[in-house]
Amino acid sequence: MSGHIFVFGASSWIGRGVAERFVGPSAVTAIARRPDRLAELADRGAHTIICDVVDAEKLEQAINEAVDCSGKLTALVYCAVSSVSALRPGPGIVAYSVAKAGLNALITGMAKELGLRRAVGVAPGWIDTEMNQAFKHVYSEDFQVALDQRSPAGIATVDSVVNAIEFLLSDKACNIPGEMLTMDGGAIL
């Protein structure tokens, strides 16, 4: 995909993978809170902006800076968009699940109200990421083995999620507006 891709959450795992995948064929603006990790993306050719997206004023400045630097945004990738937890909340993560369900509604609403053909999202199941590694007491090796047994297509990887995002941003997915792609290997079937 060519154009200008704006990647939120570009300093970690999925976001970083998306930024790395598209830098080169596309102009990439990578936004995140962690300057050390953004520096590595800048070395690869991404335009980087340090910003916490909860600050609306700074976010608006970041978007304006991105457009001034690389032109009109072609695609917006908000990493940490959704999770299968939005569809099937688990014990102890109800607030997280509600937040993810709200983001699902945001994707659908953006597609309807803004007419964005590329307002799509990915809802991965459990993935071995930095966030999940912080909860090894919950996501133990036994948990991962049991999840793998419940997932006929296997546990998604960061790379498989980035592949799905690449597909959703391609012309091959031009008739998939406002959809949330569930990527849990079939675990919630």
Q: Which residues are catalytic?
A: 96
Tracing tokens 């939005």 back to the chain, one arrives at: 86
- For the chain, how far is it from start to end, CA to CA, in angstroms? 32
CA 17 to chain centre: 9
Q: Is 74 helix (H, G, I), strand (E, B) or coil?
A: coil
CA 19 to chain centre: 10
The tokens for 57 are: 């004023």
Q: Is 107 helix (H, G, I), strand (E, B) or coil?
A: helix
Q: How far is CA 52 from CA 57, 102, 167, in A?
A: 10, 19, 28
